[in-house]
Amino acid sequence: MPYTAAHSGSPGSLLLRLCVAGAALLAGVVASAQVSADTGSKPDAPAQIRIGYQKSSINLLVAKQLGLVEQRFPGAHIQWTEFPAGPQLLEALGAGSLDFGMTGDTPPVFAQAGGSDVIYVGVEPPKPGSSAILVPPDSGVAALSDLRGKRVAFQKGSSSHYLVLRALQKAGLQYTDIRPVYLAPADARAAFESHSIDAWAIWDPYWAAAEHNTPARVLVTGVGLSDNNTFYLSSHQFADRYPQAIQSLFSVLNDADRQVQQHYADAPKLIAAATGLDPEVAKLFLNRRPPSPVSRLNPAVIETQQALADTYAQAGLIPHPIRISEAVWQPGIAVAAAR
């Protein structure tokens, strides 16, 4: 069922309303610049914040489109960089080229296993209905077991990679039973349209774009297979030095999410303006996305993520087992000591 929310407020564009909300947010921040008790008294004054985002990063997209981060950090240089998928984003974060970014569930596992300096700082609620394995409408693949011997495309080290693993497990197949084709989303779509692959595992909004523009049949979604969690990540260096900045970013992102939910009918146009997507594609994307406030990771999320990491280790797809808890941000604690 599509998520729906009440459209409230006076007439006018979402952009205008959110600009007003952003100004109010800035005023509130200036009035209460007290550091949270659980983050200590470290300075909240980064000279720059380099943020990585994707077309799936709704909260970051809204914040970028409306300048909410810039308003929250006056005087700081805010640098925004778009990435096609999470693995590329975390490669930049691990190389020291980013300070903060959003990815799906799998990229942090591959990054941690590879020794990159990445740390989980926040999470959004699960979105299992926002990813799928697609096949051509005339495909003979009618069940997951029919994937045996087929060319299945997905971004290596992405959430769609995990969806494929879980789908194979459900079908009683091994990873070696398929012919994996590692492609970034744009290249995978081209391969799908040219029938160079037999199936494509993908997440929104790329799935929504394919659904709107390309004949495709859904073989399976993530429901019952993968929570498809969305994580926010930083580096140890940035999070340890600017813990209150991380908390302030969460405040901005949650404000952006609230505004999207409160003005749901207008949101597709805003997302389309921020991404270049067709507004109808943005609407499909949003219909599969629940309210997505950002919070710290709780034990249940860590346990789910550990199970995901163990699945990759057992399949031999990461070089060694990892402990997710060692890469989870704990403000006020010397996280780097756990490395």
Tell me the per-residue pLDDT of 112-145, one tens digit each, with 9 for 90 and over: 999 999 999 999 999 999 999 999 999 999 999 9
Say if CB 168 and CB 174 are below 8 A apart.
Answer: yes
State how beta strands 131-135 and 100-103 pair: unpaired
Write down which residue in 166, 196, 221 finishes a domain.
Answer: 221
Average pLDDT for 237-263 = 94
Please tell me the total number of residues recorded for the chain in this structure.
339
Q: Is residue 266 located within the same domain as residue 163? A: no
Average pLDDT for 245-271 = 93
Please state whether the peptide bond connecting residue 205 to the residue before it is cis, i.e. omega within 30 degrees of 0: yes
Write down which residue in 177, 201, 221 finishes a domain.
Answer: 221
Task: Identify the band that residue 45 occupies on the pLDDT scale cut at 50, 70 and 90.
Answer: confident
Q: How many domains does the chain have?
A: 2
Q: Cα(72)–Cα(29) distance, rounded to whole angstroms?
A: 7
Say if CB 59 and CB 255 are below 8 A apart.
Answer: no
In a domain, 242, yes or no: yes
Q: Is residue 186 located within the same domain as residue 248? A: no
Q: Is residue 118 located within the same domain as residue 237? A: yes
Q: What is the average pLDDT score of the chain?
A: 87
- pLDDT value for 21: 46
The tokens for 44 are: 């909240």
Q: Which domain holds residue 120?
A: 14-28+38-126+229-338
pLDDT tens sequence across 82-116: 999 999 999 999 999 999 999 999 999 999 999 99
Q: Is residue 44 located within the same domain as residue 174? A: no
299's torsion region: left (phi>0), alpha (psi -120 to 50) or beta?
alpha
pLDDT tens sequence across 168-201: 999 999 999 999 999 999 999 999 999 999 999 9
Q: Is residue 117 located within the same domain as residue 261? A: yes
Average pLDDT for 202-229 = 95
In a domain, 6, yes or no: no
In a domain, 141, yes or no: yes
Characterize 151-179 residue by residue with b for buried, 16 or more Cβ atoms within 10 angstroms of its Cβ, and e for exposed: bbbbbbbbbbbbbbbbbbeebebeeeebe
Q: Cα(132)–Cα(274) distance, rounded to whole angstroms?
A: 24
CATH classification of the domain holding 160: 3.40.190.10
3-state class (DSSP) for residue 197: coil
pLDDT at 291 over 50: yes
Q: Is residue 243 located within the same domain as residue 122? A: yes
In a domain, 33, yes or no: no
Write down which residue in 164, 199, 221 finishes a domain.
Answer: 221
Q: Is residue 169 located within the same domain as residue 260? A: no
In a domain, 307, yes or no: yes
In a domain, 243, yes or no: yes
In a domain, 298, yes or no: yes
Q: Is residue 215 located within the same domain as residue 185? A: yes
Q: Is residue 23 located within the same domain as residue 107? A: yes
State how beta strands 100-103 and 217-221 pair: unpaired
pTM of the model: 0.85
Q: Is residue 135 located within the same domain as residue 121? A: no
> For residue 54, what are the contacts with CB-CB under 8 A and spacing of at least 6?
82, 83, 84, 85, 86, 89, 102, 103
Q: Is residue 115 located within the same domain as residue 138? A: no
Helices (H), the chain: 14-31, 58-66, 68-72, 86-94, 107-113, 159-171, 185-193, 206-213, 236-241, 243-262, 267-275, 279-287, 299-314
